[in-house]
Structure 1
Amino acid sequence: MHAVILAGGKGTRLRPYTTCVPKPLVPIGDTYSILEIVLHQLHNNGFHSVTLAIGHMGHLIRAFVGDGTRYGLEVTYTDEDTPLGTIGPVLQVLDDLPEHFLVMNGDVLTNLDYGAFLKKHVQSGGPVTVSTYNREIKSEFGVLDVTESGDQIVAFREKPTVRFQVSMGIYAMTKETLRRYTPGQVLGFDTLMLDLLAEGQRPGSDLFGGYWLDIGRPEDYDMANQQWQQMAPVLLPHFALSAAD
């Protein structure tokens, strides 16, 4: 099994932590960086090889990860000279990828079983499967439903809670789904979804109920560090068992 990890962003929302270090290398707790946690998890979930899509401060990621031997993985790289979107970097190495593969952001902490997720996608026969998560937002205001003209209220809800499913930044893909696109072009996940839906193809949604934290903002990073002692055995159970032995 193979994974493409997107690790080329500038991490501007996470400054000042990312001023001198690329976001995937910021430390969680006092032992691992985000990227190290992900690489160990992929190995433990049955993956054998990884492509790291790097850009901003990519030389630091190359120097840190190397060829992946210490993680039990074969790691190769693709360089992103200019931003290509979420899926654009994958197009550059598409010919080298297996028929089914994982694509994921390099700033995600989760105990999702990546191997089981990819296998479920293969069994579905769909073009793309998105790992999704339930989120809810409570409004701070009373919400009004009005007529199309806007001059009459037809319903009222006092500070309602809106529930929806979001992408976890983890996708299982089939190579043929991306064949229509040209290597080097900018391609975002949103464009891919809209193109598939316009053609009548329905990407799969695999709802996950475990732990998931997208480290995009300083408060997310602070939360990850606060929760590390509690979550380390969940995120890296193999290492927790080894330490206990």
Structure 2
Amino acid sequence: MKPTLDAIILAGGLGTRLKAAVPNLPKPLAPVRGKPFLDILLNQLRTQGIFKNIIIAIGHKGEWIEYQYGNRTDCGFNILFSREDTLLGTGGAIKKALALTTSQKVIVLNGDSYIEVNISELIQSHQRNRASFSIVLKEVQNADRYGSVAMDETNRILSFAEKRINGGVGKGFINAGMYLINTSIFNAIPKETVLSLETDILPELVKDRVYGFISTGKFIDIGIPETYHIADTYLEGL
């Protein structure tokens, strides 16, 4: 089957929390198992065999990422770059990157987290639910660091709980940093608008058809030193 789907990797953040462990590199280039973390994400997409274009949304030290991946031809898809001169937030970065996509549905990944998921099954779930936005979820014992989601019995997302510094959430389903979106939902957002996907867009979208897709596979967010330092061991075998 000819690849028809595009994906966006959000790789433009400042990486402030990780600077103590990786002071000189943008987060997606932080080495894990001897290679940039971004290699793990690109390999995950490559093995699916369904992607035509991968757009890497770059900002902070984005030229480092572009230099390393601009000439890659061994992935089975095109690698393009959406460059932010001014950081636009996760929502604004998606809006800008969508200008380079060609498919009506797009996978979006955070450039500093990995979630093990069958993307073909995610697509089937999205279509079955007639969703406008699907979020890959992971159940964790302590959702305080991430914030959690509330769902009904069909996995339709009803609300989002914010991160809590002092605890209180406990066990729950968290946003694992991978999405399948209908690109049309971003049509009304003006270009170059600074927006957070998590706080500005998703809480409004729950009025529409937003669904959770639960993964039981491996999940790690390398955005803080504590989890980054265990990534080599945790992701062994990938």
TM-score interval (norm. to shorter): 0.7 to 0.9
Task: Provide Cα deviations, 1:192-239, integer angstroms capped at 9, x if missing partner.
Answer: 112223xx31311011111000111111111112334xx32xx3xxxx
Instruction: Return the offset for 1:58.
Output: 0.6
**Contact persistence 1:67–1:74 (CA under 8 A):** no
1:43 aligns with 2:78: no
Q: Are residues 160 and 221 of structure 1, via their aligned partners in 2, closer, same or farther at CA, if it must alter by over 3 Å?
A: closer
Calculate percent identity across the aligned residue pairs. 28
**Equivalent residue for 1:193, pick from 199, 202, 208:** 202
Q: Are residues 130 and 221 of structure 1, via their aligned partners in 2, closer, same or farther at CA, if it must alter by over 3 Å?
A: same
Flag structure 1 segments of 5+ consecutive residues without an equivalent: 140-158, 236-245
C-alpha distance in 1 between matches for 2:81 and 2:143: 42
1:6 aligns with 2:10: yes
Instruction: Return the offset for 1:74.
Output: 0.2
1:118 aligns with 2:103: no
Q: Are residues 93 and 11 of structure 1, via their aligned partners in 2, closer, same or farther at CA, if it must alter by over 3 Å?
A: closer
Match of 2:186 in 1: 178
TM-score (norm 1): 0.78
Flag structure 2 segments of 5+ consecutive residues without an equivalent: 145-166
User: Highest CA radius of gyration, 1 or 2?
Assistant: 1
Counterparts of 1:195-210 in structure 2 under 5 Å? 195-197=204-206, 200-210=207-217
Q: Are residues 67 and 99 of structure 1, via their aligned partners in 2, closer, same or farther at CA, if it must alter by over 3 Å?
A: farther
**Contact persistence 2:115–2:176 (CA under 8 A):** no
Aligned residues: 209
**Contact persistence 1:29–1:225 (CA under 8 A):** yes
**Contact persistence 2:89–2:194 (CA under 8 A):** yes
Q: Are residues 134 and 68 of structure 1, via their aligned partners in 2, closer, same or farther at CA, if it must alter by over 3 Å?
A: same
**Contact persistence 2:53–2:78 (CA under 8 A):** yes
**Contact persistence 1:100–1:122 (CA under 8 A):** no
Instruction: Return the offset for 1:104.
Output: 0.9
